[in-house]
Structure formats: structure tokens, C-alpha cells
Structure 1
Amino acid sequence: MASRAEQDAMRRALTIALQGPRGVNPQVGAVLLSPAGDVIAEGWHRGAGTPHAEVDALSKLSPDAARGATAVVTLEPCNHTGRTGPCSEALIAAGVTRVVYATADPGDHSSGGAERLRAAGVDVEAGVEEDEATGLLDSWLTVQRLGRPHVTVKWAQSLDGRSAADDGTSQWITGPAARADVHRRRARADAIVAGTGTVLADDPALTARAQDGSLLPHQPIPVVLGTRAVPASAALRRHPHDFLQYDGDVASGGLPAVLEDLRRRGVQRVFVEGGPAVAAAFLREDLADELLVYVAPVLIGGDRLAVGDIGVTTIEEARRLAVASVIPLGDDLLYVARPTSPPPTPAVRAGRERVGTPSSEGDA
């Protein structure tokens, strides 16, 4: 059972992990505690090729100063040699006698650090502040576990589940606080996905903007699903990044093929914001890791549902979700939800009969 000092140290480790850059490597923080529970050093991972968080913390101590110490780390210490050596070996060599970590390393080559530490007589405890660490590392963990980017599917709807009025008008269902939240979340993504139906109907910019309309520092790469051409006058063509469009040739393997191509391009976080058909396609394929549903206290009625057919024909097939949080945003509510069971692995998916292909609103 983690002590109060170790729990506090883990929360500190999670905070300092954010100082590291987001990229292909995980953001990791480490805090070293003396036998009395006092903080003696801390460190974080500063990017590919630099010392890992544990080694960074150890480097701030004189030789032998870590003997008998406890290392508190947000991710299981690695057990492989890449551009840097195994953190498990560094902790053993430093004389650390206890390691507390938040979440396990699922990597094929990097996992196994906990076993190596235990084999050397180090006391190891896992799962301290695991939920928060998993949230911090969600995109990296998804890439490691499933070989594809982490996918967030977002939509805005009325209280009766509609995304637009019968005449097709849909802008400003939600208020300014909700829209500002969407833009902040867009800025955390590496790519933003919309269908050609949405691009043609709404002419979205697919940028992440501040409330004054200026562009936020980080902009996701715009991705368009569908075969119809994007007009030369489209706002999308003025995006800071060139957009990627996946047509029948690229997407013949379905959405997994699109995500695989994005992963090869270095994309780890995908933000899906492309209309009812696109949202349904990701849900139907079990490719949504997180749902963001913005609900406005308005009634619209009609047939324009916020999500299309997801392949559910009976109530037993209903997709069960765990609501992680409900966030008030002005008069609106944001529901953050996740599937209650992990998505199928690539091997399982390969053996499953396909029930859908990439589509956009209007191209389904």
C-alpha cells in the first residue's frame, strides 16, 4: 500500500511529466524519496534520445545518494536498450530499494521492468494514481497496445439528440463556452477528421482558435474522408497545414487503414469531428477510445440525428459506455465517456467480418 508521501510524490510526478514534449515518446515524471519520505530529486523525460525520467532524477544526486531510496514514476520503468539504457537497471545500480509506478508499460520491447526490479530484490508497487496517469498517456498507450492513434469522437447535439434542423442549419447548437472547449481540445490533437459531406455543407476551417478568432499555437493536421473534391474556395485550403484526403484507393482497407497511415505519419491523437456518418463509422468499427458529447438545452426534432447507424439492431448490442465526467460549460453539458471494454486488437479485428467502410456525411 502506497504511503501518503508516495501518493503525494506521484501527483508531483504527474505534474512535472507535463514539462516534457508531446510526441512519439511518452511524457513521464519521476520523484525520488529518501527512506524518511522526503523528496531528494525529481526528473522528467525531455524527448527522444534524452535520459528517461528516472535517470534524469538520479543524475541530480551524488553517487550512492539514492541507496535505500524509493523511486515514484508515472510509467513502469523500461527494460530495454534503445538510444538510452534500461531504467530498471539504472535504478538497481543506484541502490533504489522500492519503486512505485502508476501504469504498466505495454510495449513489446520496453515492458518487463517491474519483473526485472523484483528479481533484483526491489520492492515494487503498481497502480498508484493509475487513472490520472492513463489519461496523461492515453495516446501513447493506444499506439503501444493497438498500433494505431488514439481516437476521440466529438459531436454536439440538442437535448433530443439532433445535430441540425430539418433545413440543415446546425451552427451554434452549443454556446460560446462549449465552443471554446472544443477548440482547446482540437489544439491537443495531431489530426482532425471530417467527411466531405461536412466540408461541402459547412465549409469548416478545421483549425484550433482562441475566442478572439486567432489561431492557437498548435494546429492539428486536417483530414478529409470521402471521394468528392474539396472546392478551391474551401476554408480548409487556407489551413496552416495541407489537408490529407483519403479516397477509395487509400481507404480500401477501411478506417483501420486510414489510422495506420496517420500513425506512420507520426499522428498519435485523432480528433473526429465530421458529422453523423463519420462518427457512426468510427463507432461501428470499435475505433473510438473517447467520446465528447456536447449537449445543449434545446429541442430541434426532425430526422437529423447526431449519430448515424452504428450497427446496433437489438438492445443487447447497445454500446455500453463509462461516463468519466460531466462538465458544465455555460448552459451546456459536456459528457466525456469511454467504452467499458477495450477495443479489439488488430488480430481480432482482422478476423472479424467488416460491417462498414470509411464514409463521410453524404458519402456513406
Structure 2
Amino acid sequence: MNSMTSDSLYDELSNWLHRRSIQGWDVETLLTELVEKLNEAGLDLIRVHIGMPMLHPLFVAGSYSWSRGKGIVAETYDRGLEKSDAWLKSPVRETFLNGKEEARYQINGRDRDRFEIFSRFAAEGATDYIIQLTGFDDRKTNLIGQEGTIFSWTTNAPGGFDEKAVALLQRLRLPLSAEIKGLSQRRLVGDILRAYLGNYSTDRVLSGQIQRGDGDLIEAVILFCDLRQSSKLAERYGFQGFLEVLNDYYDITAGAVIAGGGEVLRYIGDASLAIFPFERYERDIDACDAALAVAHDAMKRAQTINEDRKARGEPSLEFGIGLHTGKVMYGNIGTKERIEFTVIGSAANEAARIEAKCKELSQTVLVSDAFAAIRPGNWHSHGTFELRNIGHPIEILSPLNLQQA
């Protein structure tokens, strides 16, 4: 390390950490600036890893790894990580099971072959490795007993970390962990919002649109989807079995919406409401194309899942999709204590009524004349209908060939 004392260097880094945290940053920026400052101090770092917990439907943890010449790589880890080789054969697990907050390994010496990753690090010139764990007592997880941060530091200094470097890293563990906790909490809020609200609504909430009555009049494609024969399926499978059926159904339909860039607003039992706001597309027809592509994707997903269900002697999952366009009020409704983002207006009701015609007309996908006017194609008209509680007639059409509509 350089000629600065460990105390003076710690004070400098501590002041930097406090100042930058007030200014606002993210983990990537923290890690980039931290590595730069520590290498300027002479630690000769070639790899730094930060692991942090996630509260997410799919992922249990996330990480940011900096390595010399490669920069920063961000990763997420699926639930079930505790059963994977990555966890079972990691120095993190050994350190935790030994009840330690810190461990040090001589990669160019006796510990080179202790873990597979150490052999790889050694081949890259690494000599010394320090791992630090800091638990968050107020948050629990099934992975390592409690959530917290993981820091690992790898150097290629010929003699490894010197005493001053080790002392500095030890003192930095808690303030860095506290900052990472704050940043992970911020990310956690975003992850939860996106899981429950979707990207479009989350962006509005994070921008401050959180009061009851906040809303905007928008134009959009409205997609309404409903499961067929749901009562019979519920009776056949019981509560738990029907829940699994619903998840399969939503993987087909809502999964297609999310993959296609739409916004799922609500799950209403065995139905769902989604939108494709025109403002997110260059042209109105592009929103219609996206919605049609989603309908096609849902049908392909259904074919795959239903082939598997048929092979198991299970009934197929059938559904209807109604597509409509129009103006809706998009915003917060509910009570002062419990609100949700959704769309209200006649166009949303009309989309639901159009979908309800799918069963009667033996069609999987139906669109309105308003949709077809924006998106001309190979349509078959089923006629003009007076729909329940809709004050004007609507022509209903279906694509003769969904891929070419």
C-alpha cells in the first residue's frame, strides 16, 4: 500500500462513502469508484465481488463482480441456489458454516486447490483472497440463515495483502455493508413494485404518482383474457390443483403479454387485463402489432403445454382473448388505505365484452372494428353486436390467419 497510514486512508474512504451516498448512486458506481480508490492506495485488486439479497418472485440473490480488464458483471441467482454446486462448493458456504464473518485464503499457496474458483483465480495471477460476511438481523432467508452482504477481495500482489491492507478492509466491512443494505433496499422496493405492478405502473409510482385519484387519460390497446371451463377445472382439481392450473394458464397468457412488452394490470380470478399504451410505440399500429403477436405467442404456448397435458391425460387449457382500442383513464383507484393502478372507462368494459364473445363464436382471438381500423389485415367479420351494458354496437372480427392478420 501507499505511504498513507491505515487510519488516514480509512478516514478518506469513509468521508468519500458518506458524501457519495448523500449524492445518490447505485451499486455499480460504488464498486467502480471503490476499486479505483483502493488500487490507487496500492491494494493491487484484480477481482472484487459483492453479493446481496433480493426479495423477488424468481431470484434469491444478486451480485456484482468487478475484475481487471473486464469491468463489472451483474448476475441474479434463482431460488434453490442453496442446492446448487455454486453454493455447495463455495468459500462463502464454508465461511458461514464455520460461524465466521471473515476468512482468508492463500490462493498461491496451500489453498490453491481448496475450491474450484481458486484454481481459476490462481491461473489469472491471484495470490490472496479475503471473504467477508455481514448479516442483517432484521431480514431472514432460507439460504444462509439470515440475509446480508458478501464481499470478497482478490489481489495479485506478490506477497498477498499486507497487514495495512487487511486492517483497512476489515474496517471498511461494516460501513460498506450498511451502504449496500441501503442500496439493496432501494432495489428491493423496485423489484417488488415491478413484480406486483409491472414496469409501466412502477415507473409512475416511483415518479410520485401515488395518491388516490392520480391518473392520466391514455390511448391503448386493451387486452382481456379469460379461462374457459374454469368451474369444471376447479371442481376437478380442488384448491391446490386448480392453483397450479391457473399458474400454467397465466404462464401461457400473461407470460406472453410480459414477453411481448405489454403491461398486465390485473389478475381477476381466472381473467386478466393488460394494456399496450400507444405512447410507448412509435405508431399506433405498432401497439396493435405487439398485441397480435402476444395473442399468437399465447396460442403457441398453449399448444406446447396442452400437448404435455394431453399426454398425461389432463384436459386442455382453453381461453379467449379480446383486443380493443380506445381511451381509458389510467391511474390510482380504491380507498385511501388500499389503492391500485388500473384502467377505467368504457373501452376497458368493451374489451371484456368482446372477449366474452369468443366462446359463443368458437374463436380464441377476437378484435373490435376499432382495432381493425388501426391495424388493417386479413379479418373475418362475425357481424355487429349489441353487447351487454355497452351503449353502441361493435363489429367483431377474427383473424383468418393470426400469423398473417
TM-score normalised per structure 2: 0.27
Instruction: Write 1 or 2 for the structure with the bigger share of strand.
Output: 2
* Structure with greater contact order relative to length (CA < 8 Å, sep ≥ 6): 1
TM-score, length-normalised on structure 1? 0.30
The structure with the largest helix share of the pair is: 2
